[in-house]
Structure 1
């Protein structure tokens, strides 16, 4: 199948469109593929063609993608106006606590329930999860669901007003750390060196909290695709990825896919 162009809205018509109700809340979830489940959580301002492209790479690596609608217009090419509108709505939503450190967004409860259902539907050893930007921290909180074995934090950006803050309740963080120690699990994380929304202080805080269970990767700003409308180097495996062999962003993508294979394959 021809890959949809990245500069046009993606109809997402190669995904199955499912409405899934969990914990009394219904969300559209885009699914495709076969094999163990991986939850792909979109960055701001929504499921862009670049996010959908990453989901297809996950499928091609041998997994069943579950990509829930979280905010924004599904399939739309991101614009500055759409970003500001969606960000504003998310910041006042009760499902997110965008400015609060030491708190977890309520949205993660639904995402944990989705991971449990995906594991039941797909089988395998467990479930992978990747969050990006606004959802970047969510994969760590999702580890409270026992099926989640392979969490990835891509440019985790919350809380927005505290560069060194961790967007997870301390009790949850302690439970996650205990589980990681008991089951010998790790979390992968990625950022660009000069990212204004995910600074070095956040990775340092994660490392202080999780020790060697936190595996952080910082890419040079020169590795970011300059051919975008967004100058801040930010989206490691989507908008700022340079899809050429040997590029650091492609190497990051492949490391993530290998991480899912290592943790989830029988």
Structure 2
């Protein structure tokens, strides 16, 4: 992977991670068109640069993260369903993540849903997330374990289904992304890049842990640092755009866009393109 390919992937990640369009589908297209979808570093890179996207939320909403403990209790409650279900069904989720067909189909289905979301929840006007709301949003977020659904879309719709307005639901989705993406990215970093099991950490097997870091090459470190920086900057801009656009226009344009991307993926598959997640 070249530095320019890393920058392009990071831009794609930053643009799509917090928008309801599925970052997975876009990463498939970008990496496949650049011919790097089968490189071992690509999957590791795509997971790792989520750290940069996560940091953008913390920086943009730093005042919210300095709130009282109630804020964190709600985040923890919303995070728990994904933590439990994700751990229990890890193998099933990994198997689904390998399917470009599932990703494409869910992009289309999710796009159709977004065409009607504003009409379904036009009376969602609350701007406060209760403990009950947080837990329900957490379960909605679990739907995004199916590739192509979009974590952002699932959690925002979960919030709106509870009567929470679009802006408040979107912001809570951003906050919830921090523990969710941090846990997922850290787990993948440990298991995929370092080749460790969680049991190695719990056993404090320092020799094995130290040796595992030898697999990281200097060029990989450079790519990851650049990727995280670019994803951080682009994600901040994307979040600002999304909140403004969503408040004014709603979800319909994102729905049409998702359908177009899903159809494009299916068309590329039909034409014999070797697409990999």
Specify the TM-score bucket, using the shorter chain as the normaliser. Answer: under 0.3
- Select the structure that is richer in helix: 2
The higher radius of gyration belongs to 2
With a CA cutoff of 8 Å and minimum separation of 6, indicate the structure with the bigger relative contact order. 2
TM-score (norm 1): 0.26
Structure number with the higher strand fraction is 1
